[in-house]
Chains A and B, each alone.
Chain A
Amino acid sequence: DAGVIQSPRHEVTEMGQEVTLRCKPISGHNSLFWYRQTMMRGLELLIYFNNNVPIDDSGMPEDRFSAKMPNASFSTLKIQPSEPRDSAVYFCASSPTRGGTGGQPQHFGDGTRLSIL
């Protein structure tokens, strides 16, 4: 089975440019998560979706960031305009929907390493 697929793996662009990160979750998973990882701040949850609906976007840094999930098999995270402080590794993860008190493991993609010059 294919895992979570992210593209591109690496992105280098100049500040001010629009950046779009893509994610294909594992088929059948109802929840999708976007994270950002930096040395300084560790792993931060940006936003997550249940059944394609955004549930919590309180981690989105500012209005320059937006995320969409038009269908169950695709999500995008967009930064416009990008700034050097957005440089980080961005991860997408998916999981089955949590049932009752049962936790569900999250399955991570290998991330997009983003560098804004």
Chain B
Amino acid sequence: SQQGEEDPQALSIQEGENATMNCSYKTSINNLQWYRQNSGRGLVHLILIRSNEREKHSGRLRVTLDTSKKSSSLLITASRAADTASYFCATDAETGANNLFFGTGTRLTVIP
């Protein structure tokens, strides 16, 4: 299966701390995306990083990609209670198909 795996499965931090989540995948990719899911809601796209990029920033989010290790990390700096959610990585199929393969998710809890 091409499905990725996030690590850790669950993470609990204090507000203001940084949160780091990792994603590993199995096959070659063109792009990797990160999504957030709040309880009872659909997934929301956060950021996309292409296979020829190593790092990307968006506000308090920093994503890195290491294609040699088939891994990515999502860093949320200065976390807020509103960041409490599940975070998923998703990889595309290098074959050119339009579907994504989602990981198992990290449940982040930010304690106020």
Contact = CB atoms under 8 A, between A and B. Distances in A.
A71 interface: no
A42 B104 CA distance: 6
Contact of A103 (B30, B43, B102): B30
B99 A97 contact: no
Contacts, number: 65
A68 B103 CA distance: 26
B30 A105 contact: no
Give chain A's interface secondary structure class: strand
A23 B102 CA distance: 21
A106 to B, nearest CB: 6
Contact of B33 (A48, A91, A103): A103
Interface of B: 3, 30-31, 33, 40-45, 48, 50, 88, 90, 92, 96-105
Interface of A: 4, 31, 33, 42-43, 45, 48, 50, 55-56, 91, 93, 95, 97-98, 101-111
